[in-house]
Amino acid sequence: MDGEQHSGRMLGEFLRAKRSRTRPERFGITTGRRRVVGLKREEVATLAGISTDYYQRVEQGRVVPSDHVLAAIGKVLELDETELFYLRSIARPHPPGPIIASVPDNIDALVSAINDLPVFVIDGMRNVLRWNRLAAQLICDFGSLASVERNMARLLFTDPDMRTLYGDWETYARQTVAALRRMSAMDPDWPQLRELIDDLVVTAPEFAQWWGLHEVGEKIAGTKTIHHPRVGTLRLNYQTLVVNGAPDFMEMFVYLPADSDAHARLRRLSPS
């Protein structure tokens, strides 16, 4: 399956998933005895101001709709900005951007220079490209892993220790699935990404379940609870910083203590 066919399939799956979760009552449509869960194709078409035939061709990936039409469909399906971006990306395939295989020297030096906060760099596949010593102490010894295993999505779903480490494991795992979904639209021809997704769909039942929900998102900041085997429970705020020159494919994660107790526990964890 080439990139265009793959994008067409993704588009149909995404629109059908969103239709099924859109409540007809919101638009004054009486449900009664309906075999269809959510909105029907013709209802989406009418509400978006387009013909049923045209909407069907959009859902089948047989036409390239305008931004105006996509915005109208997105409004009906109550898509947020990230989901609308994803819709536009899979409906109107574009040449992929450059995949940066190595971390820029300035970012490498910055990660190495930060000693008192856990920091690591990931690419769009969630591969961990660089990390400092405190990140390895907090999460896992990335350096001891084979390169193919040094991936946050793979670790979250296949390493039992991750389920214990992250107090909010399900939330973090679902956010990771949503981030991979967004990236899959950015570059449908990225073979390593498709291989990762296909592998996790087969080997991780929860990944397969959540991938099928077609949730799209990117979480750039928040708070995580870490249950560390050595220093106990820490509440850490996190922030993601986009690496210049790679806006869609490389980010730096920085963890900061959320309170004085977490600060003290991080100091105990910090390598001497």
> How many CB atoms are closer than 10 A to CB 241?
15
Bigger pLDDT: 88 or 121? 121
pLDDT at 236 over 60: yes
pLDDT of residue 245: 61
The tokens describing 122, both together, are 């990931």
Q: What is the C-alpha to C-alpha distance for residues 271 and 266, in angstroms, rounded to an integer? A: 10
pLDDT of residue 271: 65
**Which range, 71-80, 95-104, 134-143, 239-248, is most confident?**
134-143
pLDDT at 162 over 90: yes
**What proportion of the chain, given as a percentage, has pLDDT over 90?**
51
- Which band of pLDDT confidence, cut at 50, 70 and 90, is reported for residue 175? very high
- Which band of pLDDT confidence, cut at 50, 70 and 90, is reported for residue 154? very high
- Label residue 155 exposed, middle or buried (CB < 10 Å: 0-12, 13-18, 19+): buried
Q: What is the C-alpha to C-alpha distance for residues 122 and 218, in angstroms, rounded to an integer? A: 14
pLDDT at 248 over 60: no
What's the CA dihedral at 235, 241, 247, 250 to 10 degrees? -70
Q: What is the pLDDT of residues 41-83, one digit of tens each?
A: 999 999 988 899 989 988 888 888 888 888 899 999 999 888 8
Q: What is the pLDDT of residues 1-48, one digit of tens each?
A: 445 666 678 888 889 989 988 888 888 887 667 777 789 999 999 998
Across the chain, what does the average pLDDT equal? 87
pLDDT at 96 over 70: no
pLDDT at 194 over 80: yes
All structural domains of the chain, each given as residue ranges with its CATH number in brackets, are 3-91 (1.10.260.40), 105-269 (3.30.450.180)
Stated pTM of the model: 0.74
Beta bridge partners of 228: 232
Q: What is the pLDDT of residues 210-225, one digit of tens each?
A: 999 999 988 789 999 9
Q: Say if residues 148 and 200 touch (Cβ distance below 8 Å).
A: no
